[in-house]
A and B are shown apart, each in its own frame.
Chain A
Amino acid sequence: MPEINKLLIFKTVERIGESLNRRFEKDADLYISNQEIQKIKNVLRTSNLTVIVNWFQHKKYSPEILTKVILRNAWLMKPIHYKKMNALKPIFESCKPKLFLEIAEEIIENKIDAPFDLKRILEPLYYRNIPVEKCEKILEDGHNDFTILKICFHRTIRDISSSNELYRRAKEYFRRYPKLQENIGAIDVTHLEENQQAEFVKTIFIDEILSFEEPQQVWLNTFNRFGKTAFDLAIAYFINYSEFKDPNQKKIINGVIARTVNTEKANRDYFVRTLVILYRKNPVIRFSLIFGVRRIHDPHIAKKLIQEFQAIGIPDVSVMYEIRDEILSGTKNELIIESVEDIYDEIRTNSANNHLRYVSQIFNQKDRNNFRELFKTLLSEYGDEEIVQDFIIEVLRRQNSSYYLNIALDYWNEGQDEAFKRKLLNLIKARQFRSEAVRTFLCEHDFQLHSKIYGRA
């Protein structure tokens, strides 16, 4: 009788076990024992999410199985800070989209009592992966959460292949959701065929840039993304041009030409050459071109252009010489803000001519720590003045950050100024800020809006 080597048999059993698992390959990845599920559930209850993240990073479990166990048991989780919750995001992002959609749906559709912030993390990932028809439906029906509308807008647009249709639909969505127009930056049309892109840029130029109204930022940004093509279209507008009082002149030179020169570095020599030719050929737009040079950020380019213009001839008007000197000497007047008083003076000076946006832009460019302090001091020193409140709202709009809004809400809580409250409410309504302070503020002062933003029913 052969001798039985039990140790060898035991080792071979292990090999067999491994092989039987491996034969399912993915099955092994997607397998989790009930004991291990229990382990994850215990961790979810204690909110010690770093443990789960570690398991994911060390590949103890596949993202698919982790996503499934976490989301199915999300009701166990206590509300924790959004940032802590966000640590789970890479797990969800790594989960295969098809599976993720199936699993996340229960939370998205409120079938599980999951923490609000978990749902917030899931929503963008979910809506980025759903079929585009669902996105269209959401845009048709509307949605409480602006982020979702934004995602659906981009998804829908990316699925349209005709330039005319794309323009029509974008306009329609902007009409229905003005906030989209203010918030999406630019429309990505890189998926369009080349000829459709060419058609699209022409459409924007004619229907948006040259329209009677001031073009919306989104269209200007989209147009400028076309770089040299956009620049050439704008230049072509001035060929054989004789309209001295054309309102489009300034708009095109500042909004399109100067911006394209700023953003598209690769073609700058070409831009300079072309602008010099235009300057030489068309005296009618020389004023606007010189003003436009002020908008060019790179001092070398600006200087070069002014030098070339000067060689051709500067219009004999004092302001033109001033601009020339300013650019050539590199002493462009910059607003210097060092104290609350400086900013207050600027607000007072500019509020009359509606330039608060400009001041807030300058204000935002200050270094972060200084800015925070200035913001707080400005509120405490001058916050009861209407022009300062308007300015604060403008800053909040530009910052788009709950942090500063929370400071403003703290300030409001101290004084409870009714007018400022209305302004804050309007801002929150428009931007749908979310934070604990906002939640409490809304619950107390606009329960309907509170339910709209924070409700899940």
Chain B
Amino acid sequence: MALPPFFCGIDLGTTNSTVSIIRTERRRDEPMDNLETRPIHQYDEDFHFDINSKVLPSCIYFDLDNNRVYTGKYAKKMYASGDRPMQTIRSVKTRIGGESLVEIPKIGNPAEVEYFDMVQCSALLIKTIRESLQKQFNQDVEEAFITVPAAFNTDERQATINAAFLSGFKKVGILDEPTAALLYYINGGEGDLSDDFMSDEGEYKLVYDIGGGTLDVSIAKVSEDDEGDVEIDIAARSPRMDLGGDDFDQYLAAYFLSEFEKSRESIEERSKEDQCRIIARIVSQAENYKIEMNKAIKQRLGDPKKLKRLKKYVNFEIINNMYIQDIVITKKISDEIFSGLVNGKILKPVEKSLKDSKLDKSQISEVLITGGMSNFYAVEEALRRFFGSNIRLIQIDSVTSVSKGAAIHHYNNYYEKLRKIKLKDRMADDIFIKVGNEFKMFIQRTTKPDTNGIFKYTIPEDGFADLSVFLYSGTENKPEDFKVLDGKFVPLNRRYKKSETIDIKWTLNKNKIISIEIAELGKKLTIQKNQYYTPDEIGENFIQKLKIN
């Protein structure tokens, strides 16, 4: 097996993205010593080319007039300024996997527009990362593991893979974010593990992953096997919840805006464009103040007197010499502002997961907190209040642990040195074929690779001109939830009457690619996951015309 130049993990976040690699020169090199988060090249806020930043804000600014795209800090600044509302986007991740599109007009000629779907937008971010690595190491980077929220469905996962292919990766794997964080943790990424991290019988760990836009919670039964690897059995997983740092920013921004409007004027008197610009700036500033305030609160947590005295004055220009001036935030005010989120929302998925797993919170041995918002004081306090002081809350590096875990996972695919996670795999999907209006079981999900079989296709009615051999994957016979794999129409060579059968011979190979042979029609097909782009489609995709950063 040819080795990649290094092992690569990408945390494609709603708000920020990072990339980590393991680069070992020799076999005996310790992988964890060589695990590092790498810079992602981008223009900074002042439009200087920045080759040191390890975080890529997941923002995109399209300058289609010059066939150019900016990702990262400069794009974020453009977004926050509100000056290019039609050319800037963010929070792509919360929309991936669906059918959403963005219409991007040229700046000089707004009538000329291009449409981008979320796969393309994500591909631009991943491409930024890939090209950065290529520049840094002066070699092609073709493989990576990309992390996704555990609650991502098949479409969302598939769309993420497609985005990676579109960005130029040739071999891509997907890993759940909580699993990645856990992997980093169990390999000692955050220092020594506690002795009682795992017992032979297994313990229930709750992974609380709160990022910029998504929150998901998993409860896993974790145990250690004889080889020292970790076995994880997912007991419950919260449904997808679009809640994260962005919501906290907006609550704080709402406070700033309402205070401003109390003392000055309502911005609703102004044009829509101005209102949008003002709000974009307030939200952007709110993010900065949220970070500052969190830092200040956390520094004073052990000292109630100092904490009580903590005051932050908020001052910034919202538009053309109009300022938000001397709005005060204290810990108490901050608590009040965020109470709508803290009391009502951020614990819901925890309660739901506990209920689904039929566990009591006292049965949870540890809570691992990860994600961009995991070190936010209000999140920690809420979890602490909920679980009490007997259950350990463990912070896992919020910025890089996920991409590092993904890099470890990539490494584990080639070497045995590091501890692995043996996920009790969720069942793969069944494969269905559409016969007339019905979806019939074609290959059961329990089928092992390197197997073949025959499906008897029964002609459902007279008058068929061709056989539609399209395959779908899903776990129950509920077509609305199916995912299209691939397929073709195969011409019939004679008139087939209703109820006549045609044998379709299938083979499932090691890579789960299905080959089909219909001997009596002289046809052979190969069916693999649909929506993987062909090399031509990748080459011809509009994003390849765009220079990134």
- Interface 1/0 per residue, A14-25 and B, CB below 8 Å: 011101101111
Q: Write the nearest CB–CB distance from B462 to chain A, whole angstroms.
A: 6
From 308 to 343 in chain A, residues with beta carbon under 8 angstroms from any chain B beta carbon are none
State whether A26 touches B254 (Cβ < 8 A): no
Chain B binder among A4-12, A135-143, A201-209, A351-359:
A4-12
Choose one: A4, A10, A37, A75; the contact of B333 (CB below 8 Å).
A4
Q: Does A451 contact B (CB under 8 A)?
A: yes
Q: Separation in Å of the B225 CB from the closest CB of chain A?
A: 36
With A25-B86, A113-B434 as contacts: A30 and B102 at CB distance below 8 Å:
yes
Q: Which residues of B contact A41 (CB under 8 A)?
A: 480
> Which of A177-185, A400-408, A416-424, A439-447 participates in binding chain B?
A439-447
Stretch at the interface among A62-70, A284-292, A368-376: A62-70
| A72 at the binding interface (Cβ < 8 Å) | yes
User: Is A191 in contact with chain B by the CB < 8 A criterion?
Assistant: no
Q: Please state if B101 and A64 are interface contacts (CB–CB under 8 Å).
A: yes
> Complex formed: what's the CA distance from A26 to B464 in Å?
43
Assuming the contacts A4-B255, A12-B254, A19-B276, asked whether A26 and B98 have C-beta atoms less than 8 A apart, the reply is no
B328 CB-CB contact with A under 8 Å: yes
Interface flag for A1 (CB, 8 Å)? yes
The residue in chain B whose Cβ has the minimal distance to the Cβ of A45 is B480
With contacts A30-B100, A45-B479, A113-B434 known, is A457 near B490, CB below 8 A? yes
Per-position 1/0 for B321-349, Cβ under 8 A of A: 00000001010110011011000000000
Closest partner residue, chain A, to B339 (CB atom): A6
Question: Considering the complex, which residues of chain B in the window 394-438 have a beta carbon less than 8 Å from any beta carbon of chain A?
Answer: 434, 437
Flag if B254 contacts A6 (CB, 8 Å): no
Distance of B479 from chain A, by nearest CB (Å):
6
Q: Which residues of A contact B153 (CB under 8 A)?
A: 34
Q: Which residues of A contact B255 (CB under 8 A)?
A: 4, 9, 12
| CB nearest to A5 among chain B residues | B258
Given the known interface contacts A19-B276, A20-B283, A22-B276, the answer about A34 and B85 at a Cβ–Cβ threshold of 8 Å is: no
CB contacts (< 8 Å) of A98 on chain B: these are: 113, 115
**Please, what's the 1-or-0 string for B216-231, where 1 marks a CB less than 8 Å from any CB in chain A?**
0000000000000000
Given the interface contacts A34-B98, A451-B491, A456-B466, does A20 sit within 8 Å of B280 by beta carbon? yes
User: Is A386 part of the contact surface with B, judged by Cβ < 8 Å?
Assistant: no
Say yes or no for A108: interface residue by CB 8 A criterion: no
Give chain B interface residues in 133-174, CB to chain A under 8 Å. Answer: 153, 155-156
Q: Are A27 and B89 in contact, with the CB atoms below 8 A? A: yes
The answer to whether B465 touches A455 (Cβ under 8 A) is: yes
- Does the CB pair A454–B100 fall under 8 Å? no
B494 partner, pick from A8, A69, A99, A447, beta carbons under 8 A: A447
Asked whether A2 is an interface residue with its Cβ less than 8 Å from the other chain, the reply is yes
A250 smallest CB distance to B (angstroms): 48
- A75 adjacent to B437 (CB under 8 Å): no
| Chain A residue at smallest Cβ distance from B433 | A113
Q: Are B484 and A443 in contact (CB under 8 A)?
A: no
A13 at the interface (CB under 8 A from B): yes
Q: Looking at chain B's contact residues, is the secondary structure mostly helix, strand, loop, or mixed?
A: mixed
Whether B484 lies near A112 (C-beta < 8 A) is: yes
Chain B residues lying within 8 Å of A112, measured Cβ to Cβ, are: 470, 484
CA distance A78 to B438 in the complex (A): 9
A144 to B: closest C-beta gap in Å: 11
Q: How many residues of B contact A (CB 8 A)?
A: 62
A65 to B463, CA, bound (A): 34
* B407: min CB distance to chain A, Å: 29
| CB-contact partner of B283 in A8, A16, A31, A455, under 8 A | A16
User: Judging by beta carbons under 8 Å apart, are B484 and A451 in contact?
Assistant: no
Cα–Cα, bound, A102→B99 (Å): 13
Contacts of B283 in A (CB 8 A): 16, 20
Is there contact, CB below 8 Å, between A443 and B463? yes
Contacts of B156 in A (CB 8 A): 34
Query: Would you give the shortest CB distance from B180 to chain A, in whole angstroms?
Result: 23
Known contacts A12-B254, A450-B495; can you find 18 more A-B pairs with CB under 8 A? A1-B328, A1-B330, A4-B336, A6-B339, A9-B340, A12-B255, A15-B279, A24-B86, A27-B89, A34-B153, A45-B480, A76-B480, A98-B113, A99-B115, A110-B489, A440-B463, A451-B466, A456-B489
Which 4 A-B pairs have CB atoms at the shortest separation, nearest pair first? A12-B254, A457-B491, A455-B465, A23-B85
Binding site for B on A (CB under 8 A): 1-2, 4-6, 8-10, 12-13, 15-17, 19-20, 22-27, 29-34, 37-38, 41-42, 45, 64-65, 68-69, 72, 75-76, 78-79, 98-99, 102, 110, 112-113, 436, 439-440, 443-444, 447, 450-451, 453-457
The contact sample of 24 A-B pairs, CB cut-off 8 A, is A1-B330, A8-B258, A12-B255, A12-B257, A12-B258, A13-B250, A16-B253, A19-B275, A19-B279, A22-B276, A23-B276, A23-B279, A23-B280, A26-B102, A26-B103, A27-B100, A30-B103, A32-B98, A37-B99, A38-B480, A64-B101, A72-B99, A110-B488, A112-B484
